[in-house]
Structure formats: structure tokens, C-alpha cells
Amino acid sequence: MNQNATPSLSNASGAAAPRRDYTRGAALPALLQQRILILDGAMGTMIQRYKLDEAAYRGDRFKDYGRDIKGNNELLSITQPQIIREIHDKYLAAGADIIETNTFGATRVAQADYGMEDLAAEMNLASAKLAREACDAFSTPDKPRFVAGAIGPTPKTASISPDVNDPGARNVSFDELREAYYEQAKALLDAGCDLFLVETIFDTLNAKAALFALDELFDNTGERLPIMISGTVTDASGRILSGQTVEAFWNSLRHAKPLTFGLNCALGAALMRPYIAELSKLCDTYVSCYPNAGLPNPMSDTGFDETPDVTSGLLKEFAQAGLVNLAGGCCGTTPEHIAEIAKALAQVKPRVFPSQYRDAA
């Protein structure tokens, strides 16, 4: 197969693939009212455990590719699908209700770093297919599982100059981001995701481009899936990288009417707590939190400080304080972390909407 070809959703006989079920995500609001849902943990941390070399990333299909591609984790959905499926299975076995597709960097903008822009759609199709198969295998009537189409921030920022000597310079435009996100989202939708997760947002303008693309997709297809939004507070200033406080960040994106709104990455749970507490008071939607496993620690097995009992203990305190509706893990977290989080939060009631919003819940 040509490495730049986009795969068809037709089956082997050439017949059109069966119509996707776009209604599964409609069950999520009711579930979020009943209990705290569990998101999966880090994909990159788990991939690192396999100690893959350049040849493993290339597989047979890309063995003669003209540049290094080790580290392109999204490509593994094509070259090492059994590994990605195994990681999904481990998180589902640990108790995750929602798993993310292996598509954090599966946009043309991000894949330009490897010269693989034309593979973006295929990566999303392959990744969503793997997650869909895993969720279908683990779902039961009492515990349905859901696929979140992961939409990452890209390595480029639409609102910050990459050149300190030229504040007006930009290395990507809003329209470039919008088009790349549309291509990604369409492939994720076609392959069967239940909702979209616009995550690790460090630039609100990038997120707006993703949300604009999702609106376009919904208008064009007539289908509308739930959207989760998660930003990243990068340091103790309480702001995302493009300068907004969490309150300003919420007010900039609340028009999208997300299913959940929250924070992930950059900080461990302890440092993230005041910002989650603030969102919990502000948001007229469900609040999510999936922190890193503490601070980076190169001596640790996962590269981060916190063991599963520490992370789960912190998130249990969040839950008991009535701050969260959905919890999981980001960098450094593993199926062991998710299992402990699921156990710790199993009997804790979910956050209740602030009094001024309860009628809308």
C-alpha cells in the first residue's frame, strides 16, 4: 500500500462499511450524575515501557523511510497496532470508563515534524478502530465503555510568537489549525469514537480552532457528539501558556457547551487542586481532572514521583471535597494508577453543580 494513501472504510468485499452508532455518547450525562467516571492514564508512559527502537517504530512498511521516526507514537497505531491495543486493554481492565485514542499528535501540523503529514487521516482511523474494538470487547450493560477521540494542542501556537525579536510572528494560522483539526476529527468520527476530547490546551486560540472544526464537522455530517475540554496550567501562576487564568479560560470556551471542562498535565494533583476548586465553583458543566503523577523523576520507573496510592489518595480528597465528576491520569500514570483511582473513587459521590446551575444539570 502506498504510504500516503488514505484507507477506505469499506470492508474487504468493497461494500460500504455499516453505519456507525453515534448515539453511545448520549449516555454519558446520566452516568456522570450517578458516579465519578474514570478516564485512562498516559499513553506515552506505557509506550516507553516497551523500549521500542527505530526499527520497531518503522515496522516493515516504513523500513526504508528517509528520516528518523522513533518517538512518533501515533504511527504505532499503524506499525505496532498490537501494542496500542494491549495498552487500551490494560486501562480498561483497570477500570477506565473512557479511553483516549492514540491521536494526541495525529494532525498534519504535528506530523510535519516527521514528514508524515499525509498519514494523519490514516493514523486517526487506525487509532480509533483499535480503541473502538477494545471498548466493545470490555463493555457490559452495567459498565459501558467509551472512546474519546483525543485532539492534542499541536507543537505550534496560534497566539504566541516563536521569535522573541518579532512579537507579531506566527508559525501557524487559525485556518491551518482548523483544517488540520477537521481532517483529524472526521477520521475519528468515521472510525467510531463516542466523544471528542480537546486536551492539554496551552493556547486558547488553538482550542478555538479545534472547536470551530468540530462545529463544522457536526454541521456537515448531521451528527453531534459530546465534547470534553481540558486545559493545562503550566506553573504556579495559575495561567495557561497563552496567559489566561482558569476563569478566563473557562469563559473563553464555555460557548462550546462541553460535557466536561477541566485540567490535565503539567502539574501533579497537589499543585492542581486550587485551580480545579476554582473551576468547580465556576462551571455549569461536569469537571474533569487528570493530573500527572507528580513531578518528573528520572529515577522512577514511570519518570514521575507519585506511586498509584499517592495519586489516588490525592484525587480521593478532591472527590470527597465535591470538586470532580471525572478523574484519570496524565504523564507518568499507568494502569496501576488508574486501578487505584477507580477503587478510591468508587464510593464517592460526584460533584454537584453550583447552586445557580443545578436546574440545568
**How crowded is residue 98: how many other Cβ atoms within 10 Å of its Cβ?**
27
Pick the CATH number of 24-349 from 3.10.20.30, 3.20.20.330, 3.10.110.10, 3.40.950.10: 3.20.20.330
How do residues 94-140 score in pLDDT, each as one tens digit? Answer: 999 999 999 999 999 999 999 999 999 999 999 999 999 999 999 99
Query: What mean pLDDT comes out for the span 217-235?
Result: 96
Question: Which of the pair, 301 or 306, is modelled with greater confidence?
Answer: 306
How do residues 2-33 score in pLDDT, each as one tens digit? Answer: 333 333 333 333 333 444 777 899 999 999 99
Task: Please return the burial class of 313, using the count of CB atoms within 10 Å of its CB with bins 0-12, 13-18 and 19+.
Answer: middle
Q: Give the closest residue to 96 by CA, choosing from 350, 329, 321.
A: 329
DSSP letter string, 314-358:
HHHHHHHTT--SEE---TT--HHHHHHHHHHHTTSPPPPPPGGGG
What three-state secondary structure class fits 101?
coil
How do residues 44-62 score in pLDDT, each as one tens digit? Answer: 999 999 999 999 999 999 9
DSSP letter string, 194-217:
SEEEEEEES-HHHHHHHHHHHHHH
Residues 6+ apart with CB under 8 A from 207: 153, 198, 201, 229, 231, 253
Q: What is the pLDDT of residue 168?
A: 83
How many residues are present in the chain?
361
Q: What is the pLDDT of residue 14?
A: 38
Query: What mean pLDDT comes out for the span 316-337?
Result: 98
Decide: 123 and 103 in contact? Cβ < 8 Å.
Answer: yes
Q: Give the closest residue to 40 by CA, choosing from 360, 336, 359, 361.
A: 336
Q: What is the pLDDT of residue 358?
A: 60
How do residues 163-191 score in pLDDT, each as one tens digit? Answer: 888 888 888 999 999 999 999 999 999 99
Strands (E), 101-192: 146-151
Phi, psi at residue 309, to the nearest 5°? -70, -30
What are the CA-CA distances from residue 172 to residues 156, 177, 206, 231 (Å)? 6, 7, 10, 20
Amino acid at 136: D
The answer on pLDDT for 84 being more than 90 is yes
Q: Give the closest residue to 198 by CA, choosing from 172, 225, 230, 173.
A: 230
Decide: 265 and 233 in contact? Cβ < 8 Å.
Answer: no
Beta bridge partners of 151: 198
Q: What is the pLDDT of residue 148?
A: 98
Q: Which secondary structure element, helix H or strand E, spans residue 286, and what is its range?
A: strand 286-292
pTM: 0.92
Looking at residue 245, the DSSP 8-state letter turns out to be B
Q: Give the closest residue to 133 by CA, choosing from 161, 94, 92, 170.
A: 92
The answer on pLDDT for 357 being more than 50 is yes
Look-up: residue for cell 518528573? 296
Residues 6+ apart with CB under 8 A from 115: 66, 67
Query: What mean pLDDT comes out for the span 235-255?
Result: 93
Residues 6+ apart with CB under 8 A from 251: none
How do residues 344-353 score in pLDDT, each as one tens digit? Answer: 999 999 999 9
Strands (E), 59-115: 98-100
Q: What is the pLDDT of residue 359?
A: 57
Decide: 194 and 100 in contact? Cβ < 8 Å.
Answer: no
Compute the radius of gyration of the chain from its Cα atoms: 19
The answer on pLDDT for 260 being more than 70 is yes
Q: How far apart are CA 51 and CA 321, in angstroms?
A: 39
Q: Give the closest residue to 267 by CA, choosing from 248, 249, 228, 240.
A: 240
What are the CA-CA distances from residue 274 to residues 102, 121, 279 (Å)? 30, 38, 9
DSSP letter string, 260-279:
EEEEEEEEEHHHHHHHHHHH
